[in-house]
A and B are shown apart, each in its own frame.
Chain A
């Protein structure tokens, strides 16, 4: 996903003179080809995130479209005021490419885990917050950014994530995608974003083998949220589960809850937010291991959905 994203910056820059790349202190040689081909539009600025964002804002005020790239924790927290004021207050077309969103950097510990990025980026007016599922969808997002003249937060996964997206289902910023439709009423609805959509789909397959058909919606844009789709599909579902690689505060689950309450005045009686706890990670290991510790692997998701669907509360509803 990261490779696809960075490569797209160069590819798009070839035909769009607005595009500029600003990296912090990234891998040696990153986008060297772009640097050679268009040296005036490739910047490796060093470890100064406040500067990178302010500089990008100044460029965007004069008609450019900078893509700024560094680690997710640093592009969000370190320069939050610059993101809020320089980018969002001015509503500028600057793109924040955030390496290692979620718990990708598990072995590096809590300083490098971006598990509240959705929450703090969503809180900013004019900010668009995205988390695509895989490298192919990343290409579709990158193309779509050219016509989206607002700040965009682009969360990257680990890389090598399985391709689960489908070009035939289209891509539009702010529009959710029904990945696994289920007809009728009363079924579980799984709403996921980023690389958790792949795990939600895998959970749905496990559930199907157990005789439970679950619908899966992919929300690649957390803000603006596709509330129309979410409300319409939740209304016919028996239970709703949000699944995210993010703390349970302020992320996808909170956004979906807000949308349901605002649009319908109620939420489904069976609503569960699946995500990371409100704690700094106590473990290292791998992304998969940390997800497992929070019950976010497909088997665990399937089990939670099945248990919830079979709970006394569910029986009461029926």
Chain B
């Protein structure tokens, strides 16, 4: 079955909270004068719903053993993760102004131990799902009911290590593990359909032993409704393919592979980005 959006993510409207989180991302882009624009913007609603409605965590006790784990395996989308973590109180918003600075804590890829709330240092692609299987198995060994969510990019899942991890998750029937793919259809070099076609993507995950479905990754209600039901099966892992728009919310970036990563923003571009997301705070 070819994965097709149930709704058009392009036209999915963004509410005030989604715009606010995007403003934080733009603040980070301005602070670092660089960043993965497209890859962060496509992620916002996925992470927002996870942290607002699904995950159990304690910002004042990041190592709380019973917490749910969320690994951003596509580490280059870190600005979206930083936005939601800061919003939840893991660290001060002022850190966005030092994104990628020599002594800043917020780097171009997220680091465990440096950024409170970050579960694993990622950036090299194809690592998160394997780590997630280990965490899911650790929960089983330690009789914890923690759940593990791993958010991957579509280009990322070109990596063979992702499918090694999927094999393993299927074998162990890790019902406490949910794999989420931010399927924005554009990887660094161009459209995924041209560079390395992933279809039929839902079928692939199902064939690896996952309960797999797809959803509009910008539709907050649909995401909430679906993620609230995770795990989708009690005898196997879950995979959720989120149809998204690369650069969602920034019209000049939307759907444009050249906005995967940008540096040296002109004042006009910064103004454009801020105005698209409701203006600078």
List CB contacts (< 8 Å) of B116-172 with chain A: 119-121, 124, 126-127, 129-142, 160-161, 164-165, 167-168
In the assembled complex, which residues on chain A have CB atoms less than 8 Å from the CB atom of B138?
58-59, 61-64
Question: A48-B164, A85-B127 known; A61 and B134 CB under 8 Å?
Answer: yes
Q: Given A54-B161, A58-B138, A61-B119, are A86 and B167 also a contact pair (CB < 8 Å)? A: no
Question: B56 contacts the other chain (Cβ, under 8 Å)?
Answer: no
Tell whether, in the assembled complex, residue B120 and residue A90 are in contact, meaning their CB atoms are under 8 Å apart: yes
State how many angstroms separate the Cβ of B111 from the closest Cβ of chain A: 8
B121 near A85 (CB under 8 angstroms)?
A: yes
A54 touches B127 (CB 8 A): yes
Most buried by B among A20, A48, A66: A48
The answer to whether A50 touches B130, judged by C-beta atoms less than 8 angstroms apart, is yes
Partner among B139, B160, B165 whose Cβ is within 8 Å of the Cβ of A62: B139
Q: Interface residues of B, CB < 8 Å — how many?
A: 29
- Mark A42-81 against chain B: 1 for CB-CB distance below 8 A, else 0: 0101101011011111111111101000000000000001
Smallest CB gap from B148: residue in A: A58
Contact B139 A50 (CB under 8 A): no
CA of A85 to CA of B138, assembled, Å: 20
Asked if A208 lies at the interface with its beta carbon under 8 angstroms from chain B, I say no
| Mask: chain B, 174-186; 1 = CB below 8 Å from A; 0 = not | 0000000000000
A-side contacts of B113, CB under 8 Å: 90
Interface contact A61-B135, CB-CB below 8 Å: yes
What A residues does B160 contact at CB under 8 A? 50
| Interface assignment of B264: CB less than 8 Å from any CB of chain A | no
Q: Is the CB of B130 within 8 A of A82?
A: yes
Residues in B neighbouring A48, C-beta threshold 8 A:
164, 167-168
**Whole-angstrom CA separation of A89 from B131 in the bound complex:** 13
Q: Max chain B CB contacts within 10 Å: which of A41, A43, A89? A: A89
Question: Is the beta-carbon distance between B133 and A51 smaller than 8 angstroms?
Answer: yes
| A residues in contact with B262, CB < 8 Å | none
A40 located at the interface, meaning its Cβ lies under 8 Å from any Cβ of chain B in the complex: yes
Residues of A within 8 A of B142 (CB): 62-63
Cβ 8 A contact of B134, one of A40, A46, A50, A55: A55
Nearest Cβ in chain B — how far from A241, in angstroms?
40
If over half of A's interface residues share one DSSP class (helix, strand or loop), that class is named, otherwise mixed; here it is helix
B121 adjacent to A90 (CB under 8 Å): yes
Instruction: For A47, give the chain B residue with the smallest CB separation.
Output: B164
A48-B167, A61-B135, A62-B142 in contact; A53/B124 too (CB < 8 A)? no
Out of A40, A55, A61, which one reaches B120, CB within 8 Å? A61
Whether the Cβ atoms of A20 and B141 lie closer than 8 Å is yes
Interface presence of B112 (CB below 8 A): yes
Determine the distance from Cα of A57 to Cα of B112 in the docked complex, in whole angstroms. 13
| Whole-angstrom distance between the Cβ of B149 and the nearest chain A Cβ | 13
* B164 / chain A contacts, CB cutoff of 8 Å: 48, 50-51
Among B113, B119, B121, B161, the most chain A Cβ lie within 10 Å of the Cβ of: B161
Residues of B within 8 A of A46 (CB): 167-168
Is B167 in contact with A40, judged by CB distance below 8 angstroms?
Answer: no
Please, which residues of chain B bring their CB within 8 A of the CB of A51?
Answer: 130, 133, 161, 164-165, 167-168
CA distance A311 to B266 in the complex (A): 70
Report the Cα distance A61→B121, complex, angstroms.
11
Point out the residues of chain A lying under 8 angstroms from B139, CB to CB: 62
Cα of A96 to Cα of B138 in the assembled complex, Å = 18
Which residues of chain B are within 8 angstroms of A43 by Cβ–Cβ distance?
A: 137
Q: Which residue of A lies closest to B112 (CB)?
A: A90
Q: What residue of chain B has the Cβ atom nearest to residue A57's Cβ?
A: B131
Are B137 and A85 in contact (CB-based, < 8 A)?
A: no
Whether the Cβ atoms of B134 and A54 lie closer than 8 Å is: yes
Q: List 3 tightest A-B contacts by C-beta distance, closest first.
A: A58-B134, A54-B130, A62-B138
Given contacts A55-B168, A59-B134, A63-B142, 12 further A-B contacts (CB under 8 A): A45-B168, A48-B167, A50-B126, A50-B160, A51-B165, A55-B165, A58-B132, A59-B135, A61-B134, A62-B142, A86-B120, A90-B120
Residues of B at the A interface (CB closer than 8 Å) are 65, 112-113, 119-121, 124, 126-127, 129-142, 160-161, 164-165, 167-168
7 A-B pairs with C-beta separation under 8 A: A55-B134, A61-B112, A61-B120, A62-B135, A63-B138, A64-B138, A85-B121
